[in-house]
Structure 1
Amino acid sequence: MPDRAAERPAVYSIPGHRSFADSLAAGLLQRFGAEPLGLARGRILLPNNRAVRAVTDAFVRVSGTGLLLPRLIPIGDPQLDERIGGALEVIDDEPIPAAIDPLERLLTLIGLVRLGDESTAEAARLSGEVGRTLDALQIEDIDPPQLRTAVAETDDLANHWEKSLSRLQKVIEKWPVVLAQRGRIDLTERRNRLLRRLADRWRDSPPEGFTVAAGITTAAPAVAALMARVAYMPGGMVVLPALSLADVMPDEEWDVLGSEQTHPQFHLKLMLDRMGVARGEVEPWRNAGRSASSAKRGRAVANAMTAPDFSHKWEHLPAPERRLTGIRLAELPDPASEAQAIALALREALETPGRTAALVTPDRHLARRVSALLARWDIAADDSAGTPLSETPAGTLLLGIASAAAEELAPVPLMSLAKHPLVGGEGEERVRWLDVVRALDRALRGPRPAPGLAGLDAHFGEKKVTGRWEPVRRKIQLLQDLITGPVSLADFATHLVEAVESLASDRAWRGPAGRAAAELLGGLQASETARTLTIEPTDALPLLRQLLSAQSIRPPYGGHPRISIWGLLEARLQHADLIVLGGLNEGVWPALPSPDPWLPPKVRSALGMPGLEFRIGLSAHDFASALGAPQVLITRARRDGRSPTVASRFLLRLQAMTGGLAHDVRLERMTAVLDDPGMPRPVSRPAPQPPVEQRPDRISITSVDRLNADPFAFYAQAILKLRALDPVDDDHTARWKGTAVHQVFEDWLQEDDCDPAKLRGRAEQLLAGEAIHPMLRALWAPRLLEAIDWMAELERANRKAGRRPLAAEISGEASLAGITVHGRADRIDRLADGGIAIIDYKTGAPPRQKAVDAGFALQLGLLGLIARAGGFEGVSGEPEAFEYWSLTRHKGRFGKLMRADEKTGADEFLARSYFAFARAAQRWLTGTEPFTAKLNPAYAPYGDYDQLMRLEEWYGRG
């Protein structure tokens, strides 16, 4: 290729309707491929490593045979945590200092940013923002004196901005001193120096062969200076992606872009201005291979994305210039349906041999959903934008360890950690481990035990699962002292490594995520700054989550060869036969600008920095470029998880200009029917009718009311043997309170002979227990103690009347109506005349008389029948009184005495209880009547089996 005149820059543009990488490769092959070493003598500067891979693949496709490629050199993308390519490093007499390690930089900034009353986790969050602000200033070549001048010239700043700027300026003044002491510089500053030094070297000594800067859209001054040098030097070319030339965007629209930062061409105009190149000097990239789509579509897309002041031209555009043939729209009801539609579209693309398809979306949740749905067809499509380390197995293991330690081995984080896929070994060892963990899980159902290993030892001892607990205890005992007080961050990392080794051995360090986790912890252990940085127990989990979330784990190549999932950065310069643009809702694409807590908009403007909305323009350029694919599918969900959504401004522009995009109705219908179970067929009320031999001949007195009110629930419990499990780490429920109070009364009788003076002390001992949450103690104690005092007064009155306690929590049984009835009496008293009184303690309200009259609330009556039959060992006498001692409020105070037999007398009360039970036994226990669900719903308040009986499908129908 002949050298160009020095005054004429070699700047080209590949339009958006062409595949950038393929067009670049085809053009270079046509220019330099005639000689065997023609390409090998050149070099191509590319934005990032993904672009290097895309251009490499493009050369393979275009050539069809082997060839010697030019040197492909990434200039590094800070957003992808990429450093500048090593090929641009030159050994000379004045080497550029090494860049400070990103982790060391963050830890050092924490020490500079942190105030005395701030937690380390909060300081780390602010330090990350400070680091991004420092990078933004350095990328724009803004020195600290310029910041001070801009702040001094900016009036009317709010008080919080003045505080933030004062704090930022102090950090900026100290930061260069800290770097100088360590002999390091910032990564962005080193990148700037390398690029500027390269531009200077190429000015004095241009390299042999051709040099192409391709696909670079970053308008940073150092990058623009290098691009300008390449454009003007012999053999140099700059190739820009999707720059709108005069035939697409008139000059009057181009000229106003300096104030339109959300426009997709803004950053390209800024780059050309900084390069000193006029748009009229940019030429189209000729002889560039096949087109991805038509030039007409490219012009239509440019018209749709025009600046707001020129959108009125849509009214006068002829139909061909507003038509977007090949672009379809699918609107789905929710994110799950959107992911399903995208997966279907990608799967359908594979039906055509050689056809490629890619999802492009900034929504990582949508990308992961689509990847999971493709797995139903055994399609492995990795999300090349990566996954935060905190969401990988290695990261969640570290967070699980920190969470369990911070919460003093509370049941939920402990069980979550024990069930982690990396814990417990592999193969048969893992199966045995899970059997042990399931047993402990059942033992932890209910309120939380006392904290720490001691509390768990006592709890599992009571549950008689100590043998299962021991192997787990050995693995987690290091968590007890992981972080019990202020500790250095380096020591915390060491403790984490020891805990990981105990729980997961080397399995935690395998794969890309495991290696990244190991490098992070190793960096913390080796860091001198981490040794001086102290963290509190409350800081450990949030700080670790921040450190893990800051790292993105990108999968290695090796997924499906024709299906890809790209983020916006990864999608640049790449095309596929079908591009799916997912998540086209406002706030997702484009994303809302991230607020800058350090630089107010006025100061950014005074410094000449792009505004926060600058990223919207980049998203718009990515969107417009992706519309150049041969076939494009745009998707959005009408609702997210909480509320209706608003379509993206980009999509609304396309809709407004075209009058409405073509809907992919077929895809929308396929998505709706793919997992559609058909017309719902609600079940009828269940009424199982097992044979008599399967029906129980033994029943607890507490189950009789359930049998009468909800026979199906009795069937599920007594015949199917199903029991509802309490949640792990459950609140202190009414049942727990009742059990605890019953234990107090049992101990009071057996150890104190119901001495009224000793009852309050036992209640206070219960309330002081470690198992009771302070909030529950504060709310429950006044009510319980008042009711306890009432019971003590009642006991004194009973003693004066000659009544004495006889037994507490005593079990008995008797045969009634051909069925063995068994139960436990809370308390039995000997009356003065020799009869007995049966007492039922109630922490809640006693049964209503209406329930007793209807044949429910049979517990006291059945206990009386057992007592009359001599079913309680050591208890004799005729039942003469049936009492509820309730601890609920009654007439302005807590405590109430209710006689169940007050209106009928003891004999009639017992007779009614017997006939009510005999009728139930004859129907369901010795008879064949079906166990109908919710037969008497007014007396069936518990819903343990509502889901099993599918209550909501039939209740209320008919």
Structure 2
Amino acid sequence: MAERGKPQLFTIPAHRAFADALAAGLIRRFGGEPLGLARGLVLLPNNRAKRAMTDAFVRASEGGLLLPRLVAIGDPGLDEAAGAALDPADDPDPVPPAVPPLQRRMILARLVAEERIRIGQPVDAAEAVRLAGDLSRTLDQLLIEEVAPARLRELDLGEELSDHWRRALALFGIILDRWPGELERLGRIDLADRRARLLRRLAARWRDAPPAGFVCAAGITDSAPAVARLMRCVSELPQGMVVLADLATGMDEGEWQALGPHAPDPVSGFRRRSIETHPQFHLKLLLDRMGVNRTEFETWRGGGGHDATAARGRAIANALAPADFTGKWTSLAAEDRRLAGIAAAELATPAEEAQAIALALREVLETPGRTAALVTPDRGLARRVAAHAARWKIEIDDSAGRPLSILPSGTLLTALAEAATQRFAPLALLTLLKHPLVRFGDARAAWLDGARSLDRVLRGPRPAPGLAGIDDHLANPPERERKRRAEAAAWWPEARGLLAPIEAVFDGGAQPLAALLAALRETAQALCGDTLWSGPAGRAASELLADLEAEAASGPASVDPASLAPLLKTLMDEVAVRPPQGGHPRLAIYGLIEARLQTADLMILGGLNEGTWPGQPAPDPWLAPRIRAELGLPGLERRIGVSAHDLAGALGAPLALITRARRDASQPAIASRFWLRLQALAGERFERARSLERWTRALDDPGVHEPADQPAPSPPAILRPTRIAVTDVDRLKADPYAFYAKRILRLQPLDPVDADPSAAWRGTAVHDVLERWAREDDCRPEALRPRALAMLADERTHPMMRALWQPRLMEAIDWIAAEIARGAAAGRQVLAVEREGRIAISGVTLTGKFDRIDRLPDGNLAVIDYKTGKPPSPAAVRAGFSLQLGLLGLIAERGGYDGIKGEARGFEYWSLGKRADSFGYITSPVDPAGKGDKVLPADFTALAAHHFTEAVAAWLTGGEAFTAKLHPEYAPYAEYDQLMRRDEWYGRER
């Protein structure tokens, strides 16, 4: 065994660029001979740090250089990227291979599902996979901290734990008991266990035979026992050294000791709580496990300095002091409170914050050679900043990547699974068919034309489920939609043929996951071709799907198709797709992990709101906080301390900008505890980036607010229609602009896709039932109820609508049948239903379709309109509106309906609404005695003709402007409100 030397321990303060300082120092120490650096080994925390060190060596060498071997050993993701440096191929007793992460995830999901079934609390496959992910993380923490799972059986929990935590602990214990057997069956071990074994073997090997070159462990903050032992070993090698980032060697000893971890009191057994949220806690824990003292650390000698910020580093350390020691702020010297070089920008919204950051990055480019980087844990903010920068044709890569679930390849797979699960409901189907990857290329335009034609015919309530439901919907169009549906029907077979295979599989119910994935893959390939699997996102989706198919047999035995989409989304959320290199050379966007060891002339720290930076600790659904503490596992809040250390390191740049938004997407936001501490420490010296805030607001500020005027278009006479329906007369008089948009501009509002059945839909359905009853059943009272029941039994009728509407509808239907029978007994006769008619009047053609016209016992006509809602009021009639019945009577009197002649004297609304204790009642806008200020029956058609003639003379044959919302009290419809920009002028025009 080699003789141990004095530990070689160093730290690089935050005000010096870590990578540059480390590279310069190593070149100075070992670059004197040609192969001095090449024989060395540098252990780093993650793969991003390897890239940062490579760039730093290039900058420091200013030419060709043989680099040392760079190995990442402390990646929090436990990636097995150590290679031959830690796992030599000639090892006589090799460490068993690790179980692939996805295989372990699926096995644990199966165990979770089986145990939940056993205790009578079954979960679907998607939830089992989610719980397995949390279980994997908890198991990894046990392995990393070298806590034997058997200790769970030894805990004395007393009666303090709730039943929920006891059940979770029992389930966790059972799964841990079964897991070793699964590993033994596979001949593998856990990845965290394998890394720990490799690190232990490496430390033992180096103690016996130190490597020929130097070994430097740099920037590692992982405090796992195996890592700590290796770093202690490295520090004692003849040419070994440990270099930490921003170790607080100048912190007061009392503060340092207060951080913990604390041993139990020998008398009371009480353990003081460690301050895991402090930025130095994880470093102190690492030093304790290494068995070294911070006084043994020296400041690293090398380049990478901006020493002017050293005083700022002391101020930041004071700002982040433990709560019990913040009282010293009032007695600090001015230089220990000054945050020179740090500016703060507080914006109104996340959109403004992204705009401000993009402006700050853009400004940096005005100075040649100057660099800037955004550091934020908020990936949404990062994407917004990149989008803003793209407006100036500046491409900035987000090195933290984006989850596969929001990238096109991921969203296509999710959309396909959801569409098949929902049996191709309109919204899910159209989302799939219009996806940008579907039919990508030359066939895309024709495909979109077909998809849009299908979109137009799927507006309104959904058709029957499944592809067959779409077939029936297209095959049986109403007269008014026959042409439109014919276009969609001509294209639909192409799409249907591609979707039929996956429908057949998903309709088979619960089945092995591999079968569902195969159907998904084959259909996705048919829809998109190889485009789906191209690019970084496509390759990630292909690899995930291939791995998942390979490991499907390890997971739950049977999977419901409805679980596939959420299962995929859970897994894709955890796959970060990083862009290829090629972004702007002087600008960067980093996540917190990617930003470690990085630096720039200007570091922008974005998203400093509580819940974002620091983020909310992810709960552990398996082990209660007290159990974690008893086992010695890291507290859930330890990541807050790590993020505080990341913040302190980034603030060491020559210039720093911190930003936050005063609200998030839905509610006011609370400033980060780090922001508040810096603000409280600096007081009046807390510098605000006022200019940047003003520029951000000014960039999109229109200057003078000029709201739109109330529109009143006045088209020439040749464009004014000479034909009008009775249903449009009220629209013409109350809201002429809406009439103009509908009849002259020919703009028709579209119903939402997959809309809930509206009042208009209910009215159309009732009218259809009554029309069929009259035409096919000759108004026989006993035939009406079966007609209504058949409509309600239609698959297209929403179950909720059927349940809520059927009782009242059937009572109203029975009332109509009874009224028809009562009228027939009194000599009243139904003449016709749903007939179109027209007359020429005042230079235009008036058209109208009645619901029903009866012949009264005295020979006169009665015009009936069915209402599923509230009938018009007499006040509206007196004001010259709601004259539809009068105009229909006018057409009838003037012979506008074939075969119907006579004087119209009856005008009735048959409402299916509720009155008193029953559904269904009759009201009329006329009264023989003029009671209730109603119109006399003999005057009603003349009154309607008078008001109609006035309207025609003003807007159709005259030159009156089509003013928006002329009489808003009689214009409740809002289809054209957005077009007329109503909210900008309404209330100002009076």
TM-score of the pair, normalised by structure 1: 0.97
C-alpha distance in structure 2 between counterparts of 1:174 and 1:194, whole Å: 25
CA pair 153-888 structure 1, distance change in 2 beyond 3 A: closer
Amino acid in structure 1 at the alignment position of 2:110: G
Deviates more, 1:551-560 or 1:36-45: 551-560
Whole-Å separation in 1 of the counterparts to 2:562 and 2:52: 45
Q: What whole-Å deviation, never above 9, does each CA across 1:885-927 have from its counterpart, x for those lacking one?
A: 1111223211112233323444311111111100111111111
Deviates more, 1:926-935 or 1:282-291: 282-291
2:301 matches 1:277: no
Q: Give yes or no for contact 2:74–2:220 (8 Å, CA) kept in 1.
A: no
Report the equivalent of 1:862: 887
Q: Shift in Å at residue 361 of structure 1?
A: 0.6
Measure, in 2, the Cα distance between the counterparts of 1:911 and 1:203.
111
| 2:630 paired residue number | 606
Kindly state the Cα deviation for residue 76 of structure 1 after the two structures are TM-superposed.
4.7
Q: Distance in 1 between matches of 2:983 and 2:806?
A: 39
Residue 801 of structure 1: CA displacement?
Answer: 2.1
Residue of structure 1 aligned with 2:254, choices 244, 248, 252: 252
Counterpart of 1:109 in structure 2: which amino acid?
A: L
Structural mapping, 1:572-587, within 5 Å = 572-587=596-611
Q: Is 2:499 the counterpart of 1:476? A: yes
In structure 2, the partner of 1:34 is 32
Q: Which residue of 1 aligns with 2:107?
A: 108
Aligned to 1:98: 97
Question: CA shift at 1:530, angstroms?
Answer: 4.3
CA distance in 2, matches of 1:418, 1:645: 38
SS at match of 1:730: coil
1:114-133 equivalence runs, <5 A: 114=113, 115-116=116-117, 117-133=122-138
Instruction: Report what 1:926 is aligned to.
Output: 957
Structure 1 residues 409, 298: closer, same or farther in 2, change over 3 A? same
Residue aligning to 2:227: 223
Q: Any idea what SS the aligned residue of 1:213 has?
A: strand
Q: Matched residue of 1:826: which SS?
A: strand
**Structural mapping, 1:618-629, within 5 Å:** 618-629=642-653
Encode CA deviations 1:553-577: one digit per residue, 9 max, x unaligned: 1222221111111000000001011
Trace 1:759-778 onto structure 2 (pairs within 5 A).
759-778=784-803
- CA distance in 1 between counterparts of 2:192 and 2:297 reads 29
Change (3 A) 1:787 1:50: same
1:649 corresponds in structure 2 to 673
The corresponding residue for 1:707 is: 732
- Secondary structure (helix, strand or coil) at the match of 2:834 reads strand
Q: CA deviation at 1:875?
A: 2.2
Post-superposition shift, 1:87?
2.6
Distance in 2, matches of 1:653 and 1:865, equals 80
- SS at 1:686's partner residue? coil
2:531 equivalent to 1:533: no
Which residue among 139, 143, 153 is the counterpart of 1:138? Answer: 143
2:421 corresponds to 1:419: no
Amino acid at match of 1:640: D
**TM-score where L is the length of structure 2:** 0.94
AA matched with 2:98: A
Unaligned 5+ segments in structure 2 are 261-273, 478-484
2:451 aligns with 437
Instruction: State the Cα distance separating 1:670 from its structure 2 match.
Output: 0.2
Superposition map of 1:280-319 within 5 A: 280-291=295-306, 293-319=308-334
Structure 1 unpaired stretches of 5+: none
Contact 2:18 2:304 in 1 (8 A): no
Secondary structure, aligned partner of 1:331:
strand
2:243 match:
239
RMSD across aligned C-alpha pairs, in angstroms? 1.6
The alpha-carbon deviation at position 367 of structure 1 amounts to 0.9
SS at match of 2:546: helix
Query: Structure 1: how far apart are the matches of 2:289 and 2:870?
Result: 81
Deviating more after overlay: 528-537 vs 846-855: 528-537
Instruction: Check 1:675–1:40 CA distance in 2 against 1; reply closer, same or farther (3 A cut).
Output: same
The alpha carbon displacement at 1:955 in A equals 1.7
**Superposition pairs for residues 418-567 of structure 1, below 5 Å?**
418-426=433-441, 428-461=442-475, 462=477, 463-464=485-486, 465-484=488-507, 485-527=509-551, 529-530=553-554, 533-567=557-591
In 2, are the aligned partners of 1:491 and 1:531 still within 8 Å (CA)? no
One-letter amino acid of the structure 2 residue matched with residue 480 of structure 1: E
Question: How far is the alpha carbon of 1:743 from its aligned partner?
Answer: 0.9
Q: Which moved more, 1:431-440 or 1:826-835?
A: 826-835
- In structure 1, how many angstroms separate the alpha carbons of the residues matched to 2:552 and 2:906? 78
For the pair 1:408 / 2:423, whether they are aligned, the reply is: yes
- SS in structure 2 opposite 1:253? helix
Q: Structure 1 pair 198/706, CA: closer, same or farther in 2 (3 Å)?
A: same
Q: How far apart are 1:494 and its partner, in Å?
A: 0.7
1:164-192 deviation per Cα after TM superposition (whole angstroms, max 9, x unaligned): 11111111111111101100111101100
Counterpart-to-counterpart distance in 1, 2:34 and 2:630: 53
Which string of whole-angstrom CA distances, capped at 9 and with x for unpartnered residues, describes residues 832-881 of structure 1? Answer: 44433222111112211111122111211111221122111222333232
State, as a whole percentage, how many aligned pairs show the same letter: 56
* 3-state SS in 2 of match to 1:237: strand
- Aligned to 1:534, the other structure's residue is in SS state coil
Residue 5 of structure 2 contacts residue 237 of structure 2 at CA under 8 Å; is this kept in 1?
Answer: no
Match of 2:413 in 1: 398
Partner of 1:841: 866
The Cα shift of 1:532 comes to 5.9
Post-superposition offset of 1:830: 2.7
Deviation string, structure 1 residues 530-584 (Cα, Å, up to 9, x no partner): 4762111332222121121121112222211111110000000010111000011
Asked if 1 retains the 8 angstrom alpha-carbon contact of 2:610 and 2:671, the reply is yes
SS of residue in 2 equivalent to 1:417: helix
Contact 2:873–2:925 (CA<8 Å) still a contact in 1?
no
Q: Is residue 360–residue 692 contact of structure 2 (8 Å, CA) maintained in 1?
A: yes
1:939–1:153 Cα change, 3 Å: closer
**1:298-377, aligned counterparts within 5 Å?**
298-377=313-392
Asked if 1 retains the 8 angstrom alpha-carbon contact of 2:42 and 2:217, the reply is: yes
SS at match of 1:662: coil
Alpha-carbon deviations, 1:374-427, whole Å to 9, x = none? 11111111211121111111110010011101111001111111111100221x
The separation in 1 between residues aligned to 2:514 and 2:281, in whole angstroms, is 45
In structure 2, C-alpha distance between the alignment counterparts of 1:168 and 1:121, rounded to whole Å: 18
> Could you list the per-position Cα deviations for residues 127-181 of structure 1 after superposition, in whole angstroms to 9, with x for gaps in the alignment?
11110011000000111222322x2366622222111111111111111111011
Cα distance change on mapping 1:166 and 1:531 into 2, 3 Å: closer
- C-alpha change, 1:371 and 1:80, in structure 2 (3 Å) is farther
Q: Deviations over 1:665-686 (max 9, x none)?
A: 0000000010112221122222
- What SS does structure 1 have at the residue aligned with 2:754? strand
1:161 match:
165
Equivalent position SS for 1:857: coil
| Rounded Cα–Cα distance in structure 1 between residues aligned with 2:191 and 2:357 | 39
Give the letter for the 1:87 counterpart. Answer: A
Return the offset for 1:287. 3.0
Aligned to 2:968: 937
Distance 1:217 1:112 in 2: 34
Residue in 1 aligned with 2:62?
64
Q: Can you list the C-alpha shifts for 1:419-450, whole angstroms capped at 9, x where unaligned? A: 11100221x42111111111111111100100
Could you tell me whether the CA contact under 8 Å between 2:108 and 2:555 is conserved in 1?
no
User: Which residue of 1 is the match for residue 617 of structure 2?
Assistant: 593
Question: Which residue number corresponds to residue 77 of structure 1?
Answer: 75
SS at match of 2:388: helix
Q: What letter corresponds to residue 596 of structure 2 in structure 1?
A: R
CA distance in 2, matches of 1:95, 1:260: 40
CA distance in 2, matches of 1:871, 1:221: 95
Are 1:659 and 2:683 an aligned pair?
Answer: yes
Aligned residues: 951
Distance in 2 separating the partners of 1:146 and 1:838: 86
Contact 2:865–2:910 (CA under 8 A) maintained in structure 1: yes
Kept after mapping to 2: 8 A contact 1:524/1:530: no
Alignment check: 8 A CA contact 1:18 1:293 kept: no
